[in-house]
Structure 1
């Protein structure tokens, strides 16, 4: 569809299947959805949640999209009907295609079940670390934080937490999410980045995140030893953050403070 990752809006809520497994979306995107043919066509702007998961279906229409279309579905007749300018439009299902989708779904589910059984322990560990809390749409209420801008919050949220959350959102409403384009460094530098990121992951200093905004590219800086030092370009994040009122001390003050000391140690703990 000629869509790109930077067009996706961030989503922090996981999707749960019937078996209770969590799927973390790639993001959301609003696209025009058209049902029907000829003069009996109807188009509405629909929010699609994009997931990277094996499925024989291209899209799945949820209750929100069906409500926008004012559509009614009949599994017995394999039809969807909806009003169009005082008339009735319809979408007809195809029985052979439905049977094929069902068979493919069963095959995908079986294959997925075997794979999930193999990595069940790791999945449970990741789920515990993320502590995902899902709130159904019926348990949410719309709150206006600025004229024309609304958010959804849980109805049973603690009063103090609710006040702090809304105050935080109002104070930072001017900051738009930034999506940096992924930088490419070439095979040699990519290998260095992969190695250093792997070390940080194994050490537990960083972890994987599931959102496309506020991600900062890494930057490789050559060291005097001929090796590469990996840094992170936090300029976009720094622009959106409050300025720190107490900057670092002046280097001449630090040097003067060592006056009278017998020993001065420069320890590079990272290099051991």
Structure 2
């Protein structure tokens, strides 16, 4: 997901594990974050990784968090700026210069909808679990 309103590039722990990255590869990141549902999460750490878009490679400092998300990662303004890109949430597009051409990444409206449905379906379970835990 591209979040042009954020300056934090986020990687969720499930992607971190699937990339076979080691916990010792993380550097300290002590600032808590507020996630989508308003909860505070303490990051596991931060890691700088190359991210390839077309033929362009950009180094991204990902903050790794252990939290639920329908996304595997969120890239923010720092990635957009490093890429020299412009994004449109309305059109689900990112356009960036590549040599003498303008290339584009195009999102999927159906996939975005599916992610939203997944997030909504997960949220009531989290709330009921929280209310159950509070009553014990």
TM-score by length of 2: 0.76
SS in 2 for 1:97: helix
Equivalent residue in structure 1 for 2:60, among 11, 36, 46:
46
Equivalent residue in structure 2 for 1:107, among 95, 113, 121:
121
**Larger strand fraction of residues:** 2
Aligned residues: 117
Equivalent residue in structure 2 for 1:30, among 27, 32, 48:
48
Residue correspondence of structure 1 range 1-272 to structure 2 within 5 A: 1-36=19-54, 41-119=55-133
CA RMSD in angstroms, aligned pairs only: 1.9
Shift of 1:120: 5.9
Distance 1:23 1:120 in 2: 18
Could you give the per-residue CA deviations for residues 64-94 of structure 1, whole angstroms, max 9, x where no partner exists?
A: 1112112111122221111112321111111
Q: 1:59 to 1:18 in 2, by over 3 A?
A: closer
Q: Which runs of 4+ in 1 moved over 3 A?
A: 116-121
User: 1:55·1:108 contact (CA, 8 Å) conserved in 2?
Assistant: no
Q: 1:103 to 1:82 in 2, by over 3 A?
A: same
Q: Structure 1 unaligned runs (5+)?
A: 122-272
Shift of 1:108: 2.0
Q: Structure 2 unaligned runs (5+)?
A: 1-18
Distance 1:107 1:9 in 2: 33
Distance 2:52 2:56 in 1: 5
